[in-house]
Chains A and B, each alone.
Chain A
Amino acid sequence: MLLSKNSALESKDNEIFEVEESIAIQSELIKTMTTMVNSKAYVNERNQMVPEARCRKQANYHVEQNNKIVDEELSDWESKFFEVDMDDLHELFMAANYLEIESLLNGVTKRVGDFIKACKNVEVIRQTFGINNDFAAQQEEEIRKLNSWNHI
């Protein structure tokens, strides 16, 4: 049974979440949809990137965010929230982008940026993100020369 202040969100794998409306509309996408369809919103099949666990996590994200008023607590909680592996981050990214939740997007962006910053050199970045080196030898040499001071 739905309380009038709540929205029901259905994810791709048919799980229904009850989320307080004020939290649900932090997603720009849902906000737009709820203005169209009273108090229920159906997230349709485009949402294949947001399986159940992710939706739940996001709902939690917002609940917690609203609860944590003190800055320190919030940033502590946020660092823990984002302390997940690359695959999870990727899913969070896709979800935040699709659902258009700016604060979540910023958080994930920063986390991935931190990953890159922590890599001491280019090879470590490649390993962390599973990227192949597709430069020609000469190009790579040129880049290395230009950035020798950077210990690339």
Chain B
Amino acid sequence: MSDHNPKEPNINSLSLDLTQLIFSSLPLPSLLRASAVCKLWNSLISSPSFTSPCLSYPWFFLFGLHNTSSRNNQSFAFDPLSNAWFLLPRLDDPSSSSAFLGSNGFFFTTTPNFSYTPVLKSAWRFTSPLKFSRLNPLLGVFYDGSSGGFGFKFIVVGGVRFIGGLVDIEDRLAVEIYDPNRDSWELCPALPADFRSGNSSQSLSSALFKGKFYVFGIYSCFVSSFDLRNRVWSEVQTLRPPGVIFSFLIPCNDMLVLAGMCNAPRGPSFNLWKIDEITLEFSEISIMPQSLLHSLVESEEDENFASLKCVGMGNLIYVFNEEYHQKYPSCLCEISAENGKCSWRRVPQLPLPVNKFHKVISFCSTVSLSHSFPQQ
């Protein structure tokens, strides 16, 4: 028999440390729910001293854009810890354009104006204009330890020039780096000519890793890295393990990973290689189980694999099909922090109804608590 008085909750008589310990085992959605329970819980969770290993698992974001009717746009976010999809509310970005991108921690629109908001929040800020306004660039968010209110900077690479509705494919656009403390853009050397800038985010994959912004040609297999401190590009090299048809560069926790479709004697397969960032040597670390690979495509004809795309960061790599037919199926690979072992699993289906999109934008990002609390 307990002497629990219903008016005095037991759990609240636990010390604050213990209560925070409980919270640090919760995935983000449950954590946010907990923060809405009462003032005490809210203050414990929104406290700057609160940390949780659950927050280091990157989410997978899928944005579906419809060419003619933006009412049919949909945005989804996947939490790997609760293994659940969330339908995001309409983001009402200021440009309502299809020039929509995401990169670690933020959503962006790049044209006609450049603006950004923290992930899962609708708090858009316009920046001063880019010197070269552009469509579909590669985008990265990095922290260089500079002082000032904002610790981060944006790097914009490539993309196509967008002047008054006309797209200019030939231009090689300068790299621009944004400093939010000064609200200014710095011009840097453009992406080497070996890469055809073109529709950058479609044919190029990028990875921010150890102070460098890597650009990798998904089909061309060219790779070069931009040193964020010295603002120079490395020489362009080729990174193509035998049999690779197309691949993506992924910044994982301690290593660069190449993920891509491969033509093996036994049939097509999706492989992962660890890449040494200095020598660019590759070594295979995992192959997606065949049954999982086949579950992502309609049938096993080669051309169906061409619509597979891959994003990732931290300890997770997501592979999905950007064709509508099976409602954009996806799977993920988790790389164990302890022993580097890769385990693959299917990601549950998107919550229905799922519209048919003309363009699917995808990216990986961790979600921080500060995104979800009102500005202090």
Q: CB distance A116 to B26 under 8 Å?
A: yes
Distance to closest chain A CB from B24 (angstroms): 8
Distance to closest chain B CB from A78 (angstroms): 15
**Which one, B6-14, B66-74, B128-136, B213-221, is touching chain A?**
B6-14
B29 an interface residue at 8 Å Cβ cutoff? yes
Mark A129-143 against chain B: 1 for CB-CB distance below 8 A, else 0: 111111100001011
Mark B119-150 against chain A: 1 for CB-CB distance below 8 A, else 0: 01100000000000000000000000000000
Q: CB distance B32 to A130 under 8 Å?
A: no
Cβ contacts under 8 Å, B37 to chain A = 122, 125-126, 129, 131, 133
Known A-B contacts A131-B12, A135-B38; the reply to A112 vs B33 at CB < 8 A is no
Greatest chain A CB density within 10 A among B25, B77, B88, B89 is at B25
Q: Specify which of B12, B18, B121 is in contact with A93 (CB 8 Å cutoff).
A: B18
B34 an interface residue at 8 Å Cβ cutoff? yes
A2 an interface residue at 8 Å Cβ cutoff? no
Greatest chain A CB density within 10 A among B30, B41, B372 is at B30
Known A-B contacts A93-B14, A116-B22, A146-B121; the reply to A87 vs B33 at CB < 8 A is no
Mark A68-102 against chain B: 1 for CB-CB distance below 8 A, else 0: 00000000000000000011001001100100000
Closest to B19 in A: A112
A-B contact count (CB 8 A): 104
Q: Specify which of B7, B34, B38, B87 is in contact with A134 (CB 8 Å cutoff).
A: B38
Give Cα A33–Cα B29 distance, bound, in whole angstroms.
42
Closest to B5 in A: A130
A105-152 CB contacts (< 8 Å) to partner B: 105, 109-110, 112-113, 116-117, 119, 121-122, 125-126, 129-135, 140, 142-144, 146-150, 152
Q: Specify which of B4, B38, B86 is in contact with A87 (CB 8 Å cutoff).
A: B4
Known A-B contacts A87-B4, A149-B88; the reply to A130 vs B38 at CB < 8 A is no
Q: CB distance A90 to B11 under 8 Å?
A: yes
Q: CB distance A112 to B10 under 8 Å?
A: no
Q: CB distance B39 to A135 under 8 Å?
A: yes
B15 an interface residue at 8 Å Cβ cutoff? yes
Q: CB distance B33 to A125 under 8 Å?
A: yes
Give Cα A129–Cα B36 distance, bound, in whole angstroms.
14
B49 an interface residue at 8 Å Cβ cutoff? no
Cβ contacts under 8 Å, B7 to chain A = 130
Give Cα A38–Cα B30 distance, bound, in whole angstroms.
47
Q: Specify which of A113, A147, A148 is in contact with B22 (CB 8 Å cutoff).
A: A113
Cβ contacts under 8 Å, A152 to chain B = 32-33, 36
Known A-B contacts A113-B22, A131-B38; the reply to A150 vs B32 at CB < 8 A is yes
Q: CB distance A131 to B9 under 8 Å?
A: yes
Q: CB distance B36 to A109 under 8 Å?
A: no
Mark B85-119 against chain A: 1 for CB-CB distance below 8 A, else 0: 01111000000000000000000000000000000
Q: CB distance B30 to A117 under 8 Å?
A: yes
| Extra A-B contacts (7), CB below 8 Å, given A93-B18, A149-B86 | A90-B10, A117-B26, A117-B30, A130-B8, A146-B121, A146-B372, A149-B88
- B binding-site residues for A, Cβ under 8 Å: 2, 4, 6-15, 18, 21-23, 25-27, 29-30, 32-39, 41-42, 77, 82, 86-89, 120-121, 372-374
